[in-house]
Every structure is written in structure tokens, then in C-alpha cells.
A and B are shown apart, each in its own frame.
Chain A
Amino acid sequence: MRRNGPLALAFHTLVILFVLAPLAIVVLVAFTPDETLTLPTHGLSLRWFRAILNYPDFIGAFFNSVKLAFLASTLSLTIALPAGLAIARARFPGRNFLNALMLSPLVIPGLVLGIAFLRFFAVIGATGSFAWLVIAHVVIVTPFVLRLILAAASGLDRSVEHAAFSLGASAWTTFRRITLPMILPGITGGWLLAFINSFDELTMSIFVTSPQTVTLPVRMYMYATESIDPMMASVSTLVIAISAAAMLLLDRIYGLNRVLIGNH
């Protein structure tokens, strides 16, 4: 394999700088002791992190988001696991249609899903309902769960299951003791990926959240359009920290490159 020349490495450095700059600057500014968003900052301070504690809007939105992401990814897993196993392991009428249907939210823009859900909820009288918000999030995170379950289940060595059967294990025992442990990385990875995507989702949620069910990204968007002060940076830093923690976990469980790129 040929090495990269100096030109290629210079280009690469610029790209990496470009990718990391906006995140780095957010984290830097979050620790400013100053009143306004200025750079360079004069010293370090946690005052803007303390300020979040006195701003119940962000606290409430944060707990809404965590609750929403937890419920949506769990519910998504509950419906996608049986369907995903069926799709991965058997041919049956409706299989391809079901697969395409469950992956379709990936190709419908969040904007279109957002207004479609807003209209739907208005018609059925569910505007501002948290339960329906959870269901809307289930729809947008299920493709991620399904993809990881399909990848895990189709790479499975079936002869181990057949061995369990031939040794007299029941269907349920085989599933619980053999199949489940083997696809567990795919399941937990899918759940985490769904959690992150639900926690970060803005475009669809901004149409269907009410002041009571507002999520953290929506709250942050509103805040950033109205006023810009370093609190936005400190909240963003916490979001980056949470995402980074989830990423590390995902990397340990399933391999981040495998999640993001697929087939590896």
C-alpha cells in the first residue's frame, strides 16, 4: 500500500480541523467566566453550568428527552426484535414489504414526517400527548434498531441452534440460552443507537411537541433563535458529553465503525 504524500496529509489535517472546530469551540466557550460569547475567554469558570440549574426550561426538557428516548428505543426494540428475526431468518409473504416499510422513515425527510404527524395528531385529538410523541419517535428510530438486528441475526451460525435442538432443548430455551446471547450485541447496539437518535432528533419533534412535552434539542433550538449567551454553550457541552459517553458505550458493545458504516 502506498503512503499518503505531504499534500494529502495537509488536506487531511484541514478536513479534521473543519470537522472538529465547531464542537471544540462550543466546549471552549462553555467554560467562559464572561457575560457574553467572546473569544478568547479570560480564565475558566463553571458559572454557565451552574446557570443551567437555575433555568428550569432546560432541566425539564432534558428529563423529557431522556424519558422519551428511553421509552421510544425500548418500545422500538420490542416490536422490531420479533419482526427483525422473522425477516432475517425466514421467507414469508409480505417479508420484503415489511422490511421496506420499517426502513421507510429513513428516506422520508423529518420535515415531512413532522407535519404529517402534526396533522395526524390534530385529527385524532392527540396534539401535545407524550404517549403519541413516543410513538412518533418509535417510527423514526426503528430503522436503526432493525438494521442492527438484521445484521446480527443474519450473521448467526445456525448450526449451534440445531445442536441445542438435537440435544433436546425446547424452542424457548434455545432462544434464551443460544440465540439471544449471540445477537445481544446487535440488540444493545441497536437500542443505544435508537436512544442517541431519539435524544438528538429535532426536525420532526419541533412540529409535534407541546410546551409540556418539549424535548432538549427543540428547547435548545428555540433558545438559540431567541437569545445567544454562554448558557447555550454549556448546555451544548453537556449534550456533547452525553453523546460521547453513549458513543464509547456503543463502541464497546458493538463497534462504532460497524454501526456507522455497516458491513464491517
Chain B
Amino acid sequence: MTIAASKPSQPTPVRTTSTVAASPASPSTGTPWRAYVPLWLASAPAFMLFATLVFVPLAMTLVLTFYRFDPSSGPIAAFQFGNYVEVVGSPYYQTIFARTFAIAFVTTVACVAIGAPEAYVLSRMRDPWRSLFLLAILAPLLVSVVVRAFGWSMLLNTNGLVNQAFALFGLGPFKLEYTSFAIVIALVHVMLPFMVIPVWTALQRLDPQTEQAALSLMATPWVTLYRIVLPQVMPGILSGSLMVFGLSASAFAIPGLLGGRRLKMAATAVYDQFLGSLDWPLGATIALLLLAANLAVMLTYYRVLERRYARSMG
């Protein structure tokens, strides 16, 4: 099915006839399908691997959500909606989903509040500093999330540095570890680059003369920032927040290490079902509901903001 969909026999213009070594470009309509054969051959291994390993496992997971689970013998093939009823109906999972989306929302807001101004400050720096600090903010992307979660658990535990700092002012100690607060802080740390990157990219495209023009027309710096710069970087903030929200809602390592055994998010609940109680059908149901809810939230958000954004620009 997918093969047929990707390789329709309708030929369209082809620019090169060979993949590796190019012959001079000769755009011609009605290219014989033979011209595509080298291209298809070059793409075939990747296509077959991805078609098999993306669609088949996802389809199997969807099928699994309709299975029945028997504690003594494992998943039993069936077609019933018991798992969905159980997840949607139980207060336990309702709480987990509500917490997951609340945490993802707060993380997104915090990332906008920190990441967007930081990208702007960075864009106004001069060059050794600018590249250096941009690197400092983006490089943690390439350090394992387990390491970063562990770092936060050391900073936030009862006798960690944050509480020691509070103690200097005669405050605390506060219980910071194993709280939603700890999860949000660590998630913001992990997600910040995903906000800085698109805002930075949008700022690079910004014409500095628009800012100059506003200032020369006696706009204050704040008005310039709000009326000139902000609307132009809004697409970057939008795509950054979509990314941050989606990744936060399905985050696993941070809630796993900083939420402890009690404070579950959807991803850690899925993990418990799969590797703890071995109820794969229920775990798969939670995961697919998470994916669906995530998509729904992101699409709604995108629609609403796109409309508002279009209005403010029009």
C-alpha cells in the first residue's frame, strides 16, 4: 500500500538521470519511468527500512491497545475498548494526564519567558561573545538528559546547593526534589535550546533598519521591542513553543528521575505498565492517548494563535 503510494507510475520532470554522478541538467517532460530507476534504487534501502520500522510497529501498537490483558498469561488478542475506558475513566490516569499537560504548559510558558528574551540579548552581542554564549546555551543539547537530570537532583535535594543558598538567608530547607517544581525546572533546562533556536533564526532574518526606523520616529525602546521586533519573531516563538510543549508532554527521563516513584507523568506511567506490571495493552493505550491528546492540543494552539497572529499583522 505504501509502496504504491510512494511510487506512482505517473512520470514527472526529472532533472538528473543518475543519483551519484550528475549528467547536465536537462528538464524534459514525459521522462520515461526508466529514468527514475537509479533514483529509486538509491532510495530503496532507506525506504524499505523506514516503511517497515515506522509503520509496522506503530500499527502493531495500535492493534495492541484493543487487546485484553490477563495477569497470568499476558496480552490476549481481542477487539474491545476496555483499555480506553479504563484510562479515560479512572481518576488515577486523569490526574496523571492533567499533571502532564499542566507541567508541559508551565514549561512552555517559562521557556518563552526565558528563551525569547535571551535569544534577543544574544542577537545584540558582538562576535566572540555572541558565538560563545550561543554555544553555551545550545551545547547541553548534546549532553545526555540523564546527566542533566542527575545534576538537577543534586542541586535541588534537601541539602543541595539551592537549599544551602536559602539557608544563608535563614530560609528552608524546602522539599524541592520529587515535586512538580523540580520537574518543571529541569524540563525548562532541557527544552530551552528548542525555544532559543527558532527565535534566534527569526531574529537573524529581521531587518535591523525597521528597528532603527521606529527609534528615529521617537518610539521608546520598549515600544519598538513590542511593536516592531516581537511581531516579527512571533513565528519563531510559536514553532518553539509547539516543539517545547510536545517534547515536555512526552518527556520521560526528567519525571522519572526528579518525580520519584509517586509523581507520575504520562511517559513514566507508560513505562510502569510496560516494564512493571507488564500490562502492555494498557501501556500502549496510555501512550497513544498521550500522542493523540498532544496532537490535538498542538493543533488547536496552532490554529488559535495563527488566526490571532494573522489578525494582528493584517
A contact residues vs B (CB 8 Å cutoff) = 1-4, 8-9, 11-12, 15-16, 18-23, 25-26, 29, 37-39, 78-80, 82-83, 85-87, 89-95, 97-98, 101-102, 104-105, 107-113, 115-120, 123, 135-136, 138-139, 142, 158, 161-162, 165, 170-172, 174-175, 179, 196, 199-200, 202-203, 206-207, 217, 220-221, 224-225, 228, 232-233, 236, 239-240, 243-244, 246-247, 256-257, 260-264
Contact = CB atoms under 8 A, between A and B. Distances in A.
B192 A111 contact: no
Contacts of A199: 144
A105 B58 CA distance: 12
5 shortest interchain CB distances as A-B pairs: A22-B151, A171-B21, A116-B57, A109-B250, A82-B42
A247 B143 CA distance: 10
A38 B159 contact: yes
A15 B46 contact: no
A158 B135 CA distance: 33
B272 to A, nearest CB: 12
A206 B271 contact: yes
Nearest to A204: B252
Contact of B64 (A98, A119, A207): A119
B142 A115 contact: no
Contacts of A117: 53, 57
Interface in B22-64: 22-25, 36, 39-40, 42-43, 45-47, 49-51, 53-54, 56-58, 60-61, 64
A73 B201 CA distance: 28
Interface in B122-161: 122, 124-125, 131, 133-155, 159-161
B240 interface: no
B21 A174 contact: yes
Contact of A89 (B15, B154, B192): B15
Contact of B43 (A23, A94, A120, A171): A94
Interface of B: 5-16, 18-25, 36, 39-40, 42-43, 45-47, 49-51, 53-54, 56-58, 60-61, 64, 114, 117-118, 121-122, 124-125, 131, 133-155, 159-161, 164, 186, 189, 192-193, 197, 200-201, 204, 208, 211, 221, 246-247, 250, 252-253, 256-257, 267, 270-271, 274-275, 280, 283-284, 287-288, 290-291, 294
Given A15-B114, A119-B60, A175-B21, A105 B54 contact: yes
Nearest to A238: B147
A178 B13 CA distance: 26
B13 A91 contact: yes
A158 to B, nearest CB: 6
Most A-side CB within 10 Å, residue of B20, B134, B139 = B20
A206 B18 CA distance: 41
A102 B208 CA distance: 37
Contacts of B159: 38
Contacts of B149: 224
A139 B54 CA distance: 8
Contacts of A221: 146, 253, 256-257
A109 B246 contact: yes
A171 B20 contact: yes
Given A18-B189, A86-B43, A261 B21 contact: no
Contact of A83 (B43, B143, B145): B43
Given A16-B136, A202-B253, A89 B267 contact: no
Most A-side CB within 10 Å, residue of B11, B138, B211 = B138
A37 to B, nearest CB: 6
A104 to B, nearest CB: 6
Contacts of B15: 89-91
Contacts of A16: 133, 136-137
A17 to B, nearest CB: 10
A261 B201 contact: yes
A89 B22 contact: yes
B43 to A, nearest CB: 4
A112 B208 contact: no
